[in-house]
Structure 1
């Protein structure tokens, strides 16, 4: 059974008002269904549930009136601002049953110098046993050169897993790191195409320290105009 055991309570009141009251009591409204059973509306302990769901595809043991049922969180609705779970849809699973889940991709190692590693697929869809869902799929990029691409078919899958996603799905792409000179050249080209011009330093302004010539007859420092005969 799962290590994530959550003691639930059945609920008979529904709607936004009832849901708000449940959340004020630091609990989470949820519904559990699957295998042809009627949906069961329950409340879950807020803190323990949030801790359990920090791990992707966490297998939960839901305890209702002493009876235990394995379940996976199929849909988790979170508040867009506050760190609060608003509602959870749970799907019932059974020991030995195969389920399809999105498993996170974890990259480890360092690629060759002056390369950039891009993870194109953050998760990979696999078919696995409900009671043996892997935490992640590990991809090593140690020493790989620019131009290397790792596709889904090349992944080393966890034991008992079957690939569901297209085998040609790009998972990791390794490219050459762009130099500062090349980046500056690209920026200059883009600005030129956009018609952006930069004024040269001092353009349109008098040179530093340069003073305009005094007009003929202009007052001198002493406040008197210079005469031609002076």
Structure 2
């Protein structure tokens, strides 16, 4: 289960682009808390503290307790972080206010394990990750930090579907069981062999098609020649009759 994170905040006295720019110059990040049938609350956070939590790698699927906004501790779930396209600094955060026993939908990252027990990888195969995270519905207090996916026993060409993964706790996926999570693909050398074999098959198929076409053309020519001979014989017969 993900750890509960804590952030100190202050209520924003003013809102708008000008006020937000002023806050960012002071090392603060504007944010808003909404949801749970309450009025939105405009706040601002210390950028360094926010960056520290962003660096944990599980900020977006953790409960964040926000305190210091004048209403005691507020239980939230991060919903969106906007970054500056040039500096990559966080410029705004949206938090969803949630009740203690609320059910939430969050994206939880996959954690791939047991690579050393995957024969396909030992042979040089490569893990091709199709999905890096899975959207699940779960109680807010039971959000998993990650979802483990074992590679044990997998060979080159094997595909991992969601149906083969045990979701932690009471988490329920929003995806179908046939959702593809990852595959074990052939290494470059094996790919080259496959491509060479495909090229050989294509060449053989092309040669067979050309041979068949030649045979058909020869048959048509022979049929045309026989038809011409039959027509000549018929004309000769008519001439003799006259």
Q: TM-score normalised by the shorter chain: which range applies?
A: 0.7 to 0.9
Q: Which runs of 5+ in 1 are unaligned?
A: 190-230
In the TM superposition, what whole-angstrom CA distance separates every residue of 1:47-104 from its partner, at most 9, and x where no partner exists? Answer: 1122123332121101122511110110100112324100011101121211011111
Alpha-carbon deviations, 1:112-169, whole Å to 9, x = none? 2121211101111111111221111111113311121111121111112112112211
- Judged with a 3 Å threshold, the aligned counterparts in structure 2 of structure 1 residues 108 and 81 are, in CA distance, closer, same or farther, namely farther
Gaps of 5+ in 2: 200-242
Aligned partner (choices 151, 154, 158) of residue 161 of structure 2? 151
| Pairwise CA RMSD | 2.1
Structure number having the greater helix percentage = 2
The answer to whether the Cα contact below 8 Å between 2:36 and 2:99 also exists between their aligned partners in 1 is no
Q: Aligned pair count? A: 186
2:78 to 61, 73, 98: 73
Deviation at residue 184 of structure 1 after TM alignment:
11
- The two structures have a TM-score, normalised by structure 1, of 0.74
Q: 1:84 aligns with which of 82, 89, 94?
A: 89
Measure how far apart 1:181 and its partner are: 8.4
Decide which structure has greater strand share.
1
CA change 1:119–1:34 in 2 (3 A) is: same
Whether contact under 8 Å (1:74, 1:89) holds in the other structure is yes
Judge conservation of contact 2:114–2:151 (CA < 8 Å) in 1: yes
Give yes or no for contact 2:84–2:90 (8 Å, CA) kept in 1. yes
Which residue does the alignment assign to 1:103? Answer: 108
TM-score, normalising length: structure 2: 0.71
